[in-house]
Amino acid sequence: MPKKPATPKGLTWTIDDADRMTSAEIYGEVLTKLGHEHKDLVALTADLAGSTKIGRFKKDHPDRFFNMGIAEINMVAVASGMAAAGLTPVLSTFAAFAALRAAEFVRTDICYQKRNVKIIATHSGTSFGQAGTTHHCTEDFAVMRAMPHMIVISPADMYETAKATIAAVETNGPVYIRIGRSFEPPVHKDMNFEFTIGKAIKLHEGTDVTVIATGRCVAGAVEAAEIAKEQGISVRVLDMHTIKPIDEAAIMEAVLDTRRIITVEDHNVFSGLGSAVADVIAASGKGCVLRKNGLQDEFSMVGYPDDLLHVYKMDADGIMEAIQAILKMDFEKDEDWEDEV
Amino acid sequence: MPMKPAEKRKLEDIALRIRESIIDTTLACGGSHLGGALSQTDILVALYYKYLKIDPKKPDWADRDRFILSKGHGGVGHAAILADLGFVDPKELKKFNKTGSPFGMHLDCLKVRGVDASTGSLGHGLGIGIGMAIGARLTGQKWRTYVVMGDGEQNAGPVWEAAQSAAHYKVTNMTSFIDRNKLCIDGEVEKIMGIEPLADKYAAFGWRTVEIDGHDFEQIGEAIEQSFAEKDKPFMIIANTCKGKGVDFMEDKAQWHYAGLDDETAKKALASLRKGHKNA
């Protein structure tokens, strides 16, 4: 058994071209660099080395790269076995195949057995718009958050993807990272921000409404907050990059400070981010109104990814609409917080 | 190396003890997968008492061989061996199926010492085994992986995804078995969903296959040793077995796939096992 290298804490090198790279290119690059430090890292894909960008790993580490062919189920089983042999497998395919086609194997072979496997699911939500519903995945939060031991991360842009990839490799146990097709606009300017699994990032301060967004919806939430500001509406934006474990403290702070919460996710509003937030609110006993933007229990249509963000009210326009609507909710008859628990 | 008669007799005696334990546990816990546990016993006994490099005192020993019972419903028989070897306290077997017990019908690798993978859902074990074997090879570890599948399990698609990947990646540090007892829950495998010609299918998938009598220790041993010598293709041993082996009224009867036993039936089963024992 080769000696495991000391785990580097945090980012020990910089991604020079981060601003010119997509999320997928970034994680491919990050993994490849991590592969030099962590000799136990192995990468697997299912005939999507190029599409998911995990193929970048092969260039530097050809003997630790495994293309498993169009057989995602077996890829998951093999990754479980590799982890049991002391390796740290990172597998990448489209979200629809990782989270749905291979779901029972992810549950039984990775989560149930607590195997140290990382899944990087690309083309999630409606981000592969033109490919149509078979290649969209608006159910993966629901599936993955129901699996004990699984950490579920949904980075907002390429910088967060880089940090999430590093955090996942440095965390022992199963991690599911969900990214889009990688044409998301950046939310951060550079890598200079704190990223901790399970801790939301406050991107905009506000006291009237809180928008809790995740993944490729975060950019629209920030844009909406700026538009709202011009209209005299104070909107807080939380980038909820970790769906599980969810940042309960940030949600409760939002409940107490704004009482009006909008969630935005490129996912069915059933059992995704909105439902995770609702769980926290309902258990708190505090009064709050919640609107969930995303797919309203319907299959997504074919279209350009940006158009679909608009259609399903996951862009700045749709979020502004929700902000206007939620502000009309009347709480005035009951401003006494003390009686609500 | 041909098996010495004394060694064969020793393994047969152990197999009787394991089958008795399966009956005892089933009586105590209300029900178990008797048929398949009895059919797989000789394969598992040959592995655990002659070939596997393991240490019951160090279940997590990094250099141990790995064993995956992909037909996880044989857990009651696997547990009998783990208890017999001292991985777990034999008294614990009485807790089988009880609320909060570490032992359910399908063994959990996080709860039962000596279990390398949690199985039960069919079609998983071969892929996991391939991952372990590739992992061992990649990191220069010398241990070997062993996988035992069921024959009904061959209906499951993931088995064939795994089979093609083992050939593609030339996984030769693994020995695999199919416990070919010819019965699944609903009846005869060939009538429910035929799997023949099974050996030809594996051969077409790039495997080396041998067919043996899965109740003959000499043949089991010879096949395992052949697998050590194979350096080019993954190795599949199709072990023809009898479901319910050793208990005359259970043999080749699908209704004993899963069943409970009362005192009277258990007594009859034990008597049948002892009567049929070659070294009695």
**Strands B235-240 and B208-213, sheet pairing:** parallel
Q: Is residue A187 part of a domain?
A: no
Residue A12 lies in a domain: no
Q: Quick one: pLDDT at residue A223?
A: 98
Contact B135 A85 (CB under 8 A): yes
Q: How far apart are CA A160 and CA A181, in angstroms?
A: 15
Strand order across the B235-240 sheet: B66-69, B145-150, B174-180, B235-240, B208-213
Which amino acid does the sequence have at B18?
Answer: I
Q: Is residue A335, in this structure, part of any structural domain at all?
A: no
Residues of A in contact with B116 (CB under 8 A): 84
Cα separation, A336 vs A325, whole angstroms: 23
- For B130, the closest of A1, A81, A86 (CB atoms) is A81
Q: Do residues A164 and A79 both lie within one domain?
A: yes
**Domain shared by A33 and A136, yes or no:** yes
Q: Is residue A264 part of a domain?
A: yes
**Which of A145, A178, A211 marks a domain boundary?**
A178
Indicate if A171 and A216 belong to the same structural domain: no
Residues of chain A below pLDDT 50: 1-13
pLDDT tens-place string over residues A27-75: 889 999 999 999 999 999 999 988 888 889 999 999 999 999 999 999 9
Instruction: Classify residue A189: in a domain, yes or no.
Output: no
Residue B131 CA to residue A211 CA, distance in Å, equals 43
Whether residues A209 and A322 share a domain: the answer is yes
Q: What is the DSSP letter of A5?
A: P
Question: Under a CB-based contact definition with an 8 Å cutoff, are residues A139 and A299 in contact?
Answer: no
- Do residues A48 and A123 both lie within one domain? yes
Quote the pLDDT of residue B115: 98
In the predicted model, what is the mean pLDDT of chain B? 97
Indicate if A168 and A56 belong to the same structural domain: yes
Residue B280: per-residue pLDDT: 63
Lowest mean pLDDT among A222-231, B94-103, B233-242: B94-103
Q: What is the pLDDT of residue A3?
A: 45
pLDDT of residue A338: 58
Query: Would the CB atoms of A77 and B164 count as touching at under 8 Å?
Result: no
Query: Which residues of A fall below an 8 Å CB-CB distance to B?
Result: 1-2, 40, 42, 63-64, 66, 68-69, 71, 73-74, 76-87, 89, 104-105, 108-109, 112-114
A72 catalytically annotated: yes
Residue A329 confidence (pLDDT): 83
Q: Do A87 and A29 belong to one domain?
A: yes
User: Are both A248 and A321 inside the same structural domain?
Assistant: yes
Q: What is the CATH number of the domain that holds A220?
A: 3.40.50.920
Q: Is B130 on the interface with A (CB under 8 A)?
A: yes
Q: Do B110 and A1 touch (CB under 8 A)?
A: no
Question: Which of A2, A40, A77 minimises the CB distance to B162?
Answer: A77
Query: Are A146 and A236 within one domain?
Result: no
pLDDT tens for B250-260 read 999 999 999 99
pLDDT of A5: 41
Helix axes A248-258, A273-284, angle to 10 degrees: 70
Q: Lowest mean pLDDT: which of A16-25, B27-36, B42-51?
A: A16-25
- Number of domains within chain A: 2
Percent above pLDDT 90 for chain B: 98
pLDDT band (50, 70, 90) for residue B279: confident
CATH class of B5-276: alpha beta
Same domain, A30 and A160: yes
Q: Does B157 touch chain A (CB under 8 A)?
A: yes
Domain shared by A147 and A237, yes or no: no
Please give the average per-residue pLDDT across B153-169, as a whole number.
Answer: 98
For residues A45 and A135, membership in a common domain is answered with yes
Q: Quote the CA–CA distance of B176 and A184 in Å, as a whole number.
A: 46
Q: Report the C-alpha gap between A137 and A101 in whole angstroms.
A: 11
**B9-36 per-residue burial string, b: 16 or more CB within 10 A, e: under 16:** ebbbebbbebbbbbbbbbbbbeebbbbb
**Alpha carbon distance A223, A29 (integer Å):** 29
**Amino acid A10: pLDDT:** 41
Please give the residue range of the domain that contains residue A315.
Answer: 201-330
Residue among B124, B140, B169 whose CB faces A105 most closely: B124
Q: Residue A4 falls within a domain, yes or no?
A: no
In a domain, A267, yes or no: yes
| CATH code of residue A38 | 3.40.50.970
Separation between Cα atoms, residue A287 and residue A252, nearest integer Å: 11
Mark yes or no for CB contact A76/B164 under 8 Å. Answer: no
